[in-house]
Structure 1
Amino acid sequence: MFTSAPASICILRLSAIGDVCNTIASVQAIQKQWPETQITWITGKLEAQLLQAIDDIEVIVFDKKAGLDGYKSLWKQLNGREFDALLHMQYAIRASVATLGIKAKYKLGFSSDRSQDFQTLFTNVKVPSPKSLHVADGLMAFAHRIGVSQSELTWSLSYSDQDKAWAESKIQIDKPNLLLVPGASKAYKNWTAEGYVDVINHARDKGWNVILAGSPAKVEVDLTNDIQALLSEPCLNLVGESSIMQMLALIDKVDMVIAPDTGPAHMASAMKTPIIGLYAHHNPIRVGPYHYLMYAVSVYEEVIFAETGKTSQELSWRTRAKDEKAMNRITSDRVVTMFDQVVEDLYPQYQ
């Protein structure tokens, strides 16, 4: 689409933390090839905090909770501006409505096999889906469509010295540190307190320090309290105590992360911190931590086969398992075994 650097590009990816984190690789690929291109990123309030981790981006915050006023505010900020291209990287209808006030010669969106909520009606260039099922590769396809050369996905995220100091004050320097982010924003994605306790006890028996962290959402706080109540010795509990950037620094400083399908799992992958992701409702091949898919513990295939009689290859790309208790199929033994596998592969000194 562009044989030389475009003057300006607008990125539209409002949420969520994990998807915004995946999108960063695409944006940084554009920056690497065309450092002179001005990039404006429209995103949500919480997600804008994560974008502090990257350089040379103009961030415009869209407040989805403000209703029509949120759109008016966004369009007012963009009044009189026109971009060479809009990368409409979120197919939710609220994002598509936002494009009505964004002027751009080219408006790129997902092709019909990956779009929904009528996104194709709001774009004039359809981005071909890559062979890879992973969301991050689908987002990178936008960069390739406008002319960015093919390359491996890489992330370069940074944080302040203050965030570094905070994180370093929370870990133990004489032991390897395991960070558990036990809760996701949606309860059906969460594993059991009993399962986490088994993993914590195993890790401690192997000489690891264990830390709990997460957002202040009630579902995460409640699950964490259940875990703590079952332990003979509670873990350091940072759930609800960190900013996004402090969480990023903490993820960078620990030796391993265990989490369900939630934003910090993708942050760990971006920081090259080994992550064991726990999955039941979504295919980890599509939404798992990009660099550490080999360590995902997943019951997704067995759950959807039980529900549909079909494998994932026979179903739609985004098929979600409906069983609200599907995560209960993950056994403690499987997660403990995977923990030991990560240690054997990456930290033989801690065996």
Structure 2
Amino acid sequence: MTHSDNNSVCILRLTALGDCINAFGIVNAIHEDYPEVKLKWIIDSRFSSLFVSDGEPIVPLAPVEIKKQGLLKSVMALRKEMKNERYDALLNMQTSIKASLLSTAVKAINRFGYDSERSREGQSIFINRRIDKPESPHVLSGFISFARSSGFEGIQPKWNYHLTEDEITTAKALIPQDKKILVIAPASAKAEKNWTADGYTKIGQYALEKGFHVVIVGGKGSLETELCNSIADKLKDNCTNLCGKTSLRILAAVISLASVVISPDSASMHLASSLNIPVIGLFAIHNPDRVGAWNFRKYEVSVYEQMAAAELGDKVAGWRYRVKNKDAMKSIDIHKVIESFDRICSDYSLN
């Protein structure tokens, strides 16, 4: 199959934000490399604002209000919105039954879903083509396989958020301009995936000794706020705490100005990677081969393999295996994080 067989493509990836950031790399690559292709991306409305620049979608979007409307009303609303649209291909990049039901609103000739190893929750009922097995277990490798299986050979992820001058100016007003910046994004969506406040504080203090200014970022949730405030209190006046104070677009602008980012498996980690800002990803619960920072795997600090081995003994952990020990992240050694930080400083002449 060549891309000429699919001159109109609808891509469905709703959540989570980190996965949407990775998916954007493929959506945008098709948009930029194949401008003749009619394109639309169905995405959860909670995350769509990241992909809108100066009031205009960077790629054509169809946001769905699942959180507000519920699934049934969202399906009906999407059917109404897309009733006069036809596509050569639907790329259903999400295996959930929720995504599959939403996919019924899309009229498409070729309906691509995951290969048999990755397909779940009855996705096979809603598709008529399977993608080729991805080259690696990484989520983004799967997205690449969707594009290549539908004829976009040689596609590589390409991120461009079209950050505006106003957004960059706003971000610059929030952080010092005369120092190297370490952004600490300490929180993920799940508490067990977060490193300790003490660990983040120690790497922050080490960065301060190296002449960096520390900026802490996070969302408005109580989990993130508590963790960010705990770190900020320990670093006292030597940091800027932006937790809960930025939109997704301004968060992207702030990270784009960073020298280094440190984060567990989170949207901020993927955002840094997509902006080509060196990031130290921290892992214990999920396999970094599946969810690591795409562009900066060499700097990650992971205890995932040893934590999985402790639970499974002689059994081999499948690429999807999730570590059950909720204290696993506490096993990450501050010295390993400092080593990774020093390597970045050396590689990027930040000393």
TM-score (norm 1): 0.94
1:145 aligned partner: 149
Residue 82, structure 1, aligned to residue 86, structure 2: yes
Distance in 2 between the 1:165 and 1:52 partners? 17
Task: Kindly provide the CA deviation profile for residues 325-349 of structure 1, in whole angstroms up to 9, marking residues without a partner as x.
Answer: 11111122221221111111212xx
- DSSP-derived class of the 1:169 partner: helix
1:277 aligned partner: 281
2:135 aligned partner: 131
Distance in 1 between the 2:232 and 2:272 partners? 23
Determine which of 218, 230, 233 is the counterpart of 2:234: 230
Instruction: Decide whether the 8 Å contact of 1:114 with 1:317 is kept in 2.
Output: no
1:199 aligned partner: 203
1:61 aligned partner: 63
Q: How far did 1:170 drift?
A: 2.1
Determine which of 317, 328, 332 is the counterpart of 2:330: 328
- DSSP-derived class of the 1:164 partner: helix
Range 269-278 or range 18-27, more displaced = 18-27
Q: How far did 1:56 drift?
A: 5.3
Number of positions where the alignment pairs a residue of Structure 1 with one of Structure 2 = 347
2:12 aligned partner: 12
Instruction: Quickly say closer, same or farther: Cα 1:245–1:305, change in 2 above 3 A.
Output: same
Instruction: Quickly say closer, same or farther: Cα 1:55–1:2, change in 2 above 3 A.
Output: farther
Instruction: Decide whether the 8 Å contact of 1:18 with 1:262 is kept in 2.
Output: yes
Q: How far did 1:31 drift?
A: 2.5
Equivalent AA in structure 2 for residue 140 of structure 1: I
1:315 aligned partner: 317
Q: How far did 1:171 drift?
A: 2.5
Instruction: Decide whether the 8 Å contact of 1:157 with 1:270 is kept in 2.
Output: no
Distance in 2 between the 1:247 and 1:26 partners? 21
Q: Where do 1:145-294 residues align within 5 Å?
A: 145-233=149-237, 235-294=239-298
2:50 aligned partner: 50
Equivalent AA in structure 2 for residue 252 of structure 1: S
2:38 aligned partner: 38
- DSSP-derived class of the 2:174 partner: coil
Instruction: Decide whether the 8 Å contact of 1:191 with 1:327 is kept in 2.
Output: yes
Distance in 2 between the 1:164 and 1:28 partners? 21
Determine which of 298, 303, 309 is the counterpart of 1:299: 303
Range 152-161 or range 294-303, more displaced = 152-161
Q: How far did 1:76 drift?
A: 1.2
1:340 aligned partner: 342
Distance in 1 between the 2:328 and 2:295 partners? 25
Task: Kindly provide the CA deviation profile for residues 74-119 of structure 1, in whole angstroms up to 9, marking residues without a partner as x.
Answer: 1111113221110000111110111122111011010111121111
Task: Kindly provide the CA deviation profile for residues 259-296 of structure 1, in whole angstroms up to 9, marking residues without a partner as x.
Answer: 11101111111110000011111111211110000000
Distance in 2 between the 1:3 and 1:41 partners? 17
Distance in 2 between the 1:245 and 1:32 partners? 21
Distance in 2 between the 1:75 and 1:103 partners? 9
Equivalent AA in structure 2 for residue 329 of structure 1: S
TM-score (norm 2): 0.94
Task: Kindly provide the CA deviation profile for residues 146-187 of structure 1, in whole angstroms up to 9, marking residues without a partner as x.
Answer: 111214433222212221111111222221111011111211
Q: How far did 1:233 drift?
A: 3.3
Distance in 2 between the 1:324 and 1:295 partners? 23
Distance in 2 between the 1:181 and 1:6 partners? 39
- DSSP-derived class of the 1:239 partner: coil
Residue 23, structure 1, aligned to residue 23, structure 2: yes
Task: Kindly provide the CA deviation profile for residues 288-336 of structure 1, in whole angstroms up to 9, marking residues without a partner as x.
Answer: 110000000111001000011147xx33221111111111111222212
Range 114-123 or range 275-284, more displaced = 114-123
Instruction: Decide whether the 8 Å contact of 2:213 with 2:238 is kept in 1.
Output: no
- C-alpha root-mean-square deviation of aligned residues, in Å? 1.7
Distance in 2 between the 1:250 and 1:3 partners? 37
Distance in 1 between the 2:164 and 2:257 partners? 13
Instruction: Decide whether the 8 Å contact of 1:5 with 1:36 is kept in 2.
Output: no
Instruction: Quickly say closer, same or farther: Cα 1:161–1:32, change in 2 above 3 A.
Output: closer
Q: How far did 1:228 drift?
A: 2.3
